[in-house]
Amino acid sequence: MSSYSAQKIQTYQQENENRARLLIRCPDQPGIVSAVSKFLHEHGANIVTSDQYTLDPEGGQFFMRIEFDCPALMKRKEELEEAFLPIAETFAMHWEIRYVQEIKKMAIFVSNEPHCLLELLWEWQSGDLMADISLVISNHETSREIVESHGIPFYYIPANKDIRAQVEQQQKELLKQYDVDLVVLARYMQILTPDFVEDYKDRLINIHHSFLPAFIGAKPYERAFQRGVKMIGATSHYVTNELDEGPIIEQDIGRVDHRDNAAAMKKIGQSIERSVLSRAVKWHLDDRIIVNGNKTIVF
């Protein structure tokens, strides 16, 4: 890691040493907001932002994200979490308190096209993507020089479907070694096994070069050109074992016309891919996403 990036992270941690985010998903009923607000007030916390959403108010699901400051927070983590348990049980909550000072460790997987990787590195280098990029893993050597110039370890692991189990074992060992929290597939063109996906459930983000659900699978730009589309797009989503059908985090589009061939569409699409993946990763790092089945609530 470069000294500039390390300084950015250190400053961010110092500025947020007493800040946390409370994420909640539970059956909707009266009194949830009041109970949570009262709890935070009684423990000396100041609410900075609060977002809530009810999916189908008639017996539906309630979602909430609260960001708060609390004095001596890191020393009181266990105390706060234990004290919150009775409220969580009363409302049958799925909940988690995430501490902003605890910077998430991220691994990036990439193949031969580096445009999404480069976007993430630029955002990280500028301090706008707050994570510890612990390592980059690739089945091509293309990106080694640029990755190592940022002080990030680069691992070249050739991969194909015939040696998938062996490759994933090497990858898992590296992810465990670096204690990785999040894996980002920045145009990593290999299908992962169900075991790998399960190990990183809701912590494995992919960018698909298509406005899903259109053109699932390989060569979407070629198929979009053949179909004569007037808009192309990109989709970032959590990976599941159903190919390109995991919970969608972010999408965007760009206009094309009859003058654009498949190569021109791909060039336009790559620009969209970069921004869509970057936003999705930032939202995950900022704890803005709650997964609900095969959908996401993004605050």
User: Tokens representing 248?
Assistant: 């969608």
- pLDDT for 1 equals 64
Task: Please report, for the chain, the start and end positions of each structural domain, with discontinuous segments joined by +.
Answer: 17-99, 105-298
Alpha-carbon distance of 120 to 152, in angstroms, equals 13
From first to last of its 299 residues, the chain has per-residue pLDDT tens of: 666 677 888 899 999 999 999 999 999 999 999 999 999 999 999 999 999 999 886 769 999 999 999 999 999 999 999 999 999 999 999 999 999 999 999 999 999 999 999 999 999 998 899 999 999 999 999 999 999 999 999 999 999 888 998 999 999 999 999 999 999 999 999 999 999 999 999 999 999 987 656 666 677 778 777 888 888 889 999 999 887 789 999 999 999 888 888 888 888 889 999 999 999 999 999 999 999 999 999 99
- pLDDT for 212 equals 58
Residue 204 pairs in a beta bridge with 183
Domain 17-99 is found in CATH 1.10.10.60: no
Q: Which of 69, 244, 252, 286 is catalytic?
A: 244
- One DSSP character per residue, 133-190 reads EEEEEESSSTTHHHHHHTT--EEE----GGGHHHHHHHHHHHHHHTT-SEEEESS--S
- Is there a catalytic annotation at residue 179? no
- pLDDT for 284 equals 98
- pLDDT for 195 equals 94
- pLDDT for 150 equals 94
Among the CATH numbers 3.55.50.30, 3.40.50.170, 3.30.460.80, 3.40.50.10540, which is that of 105-298?
Answer: 3.40.50.170
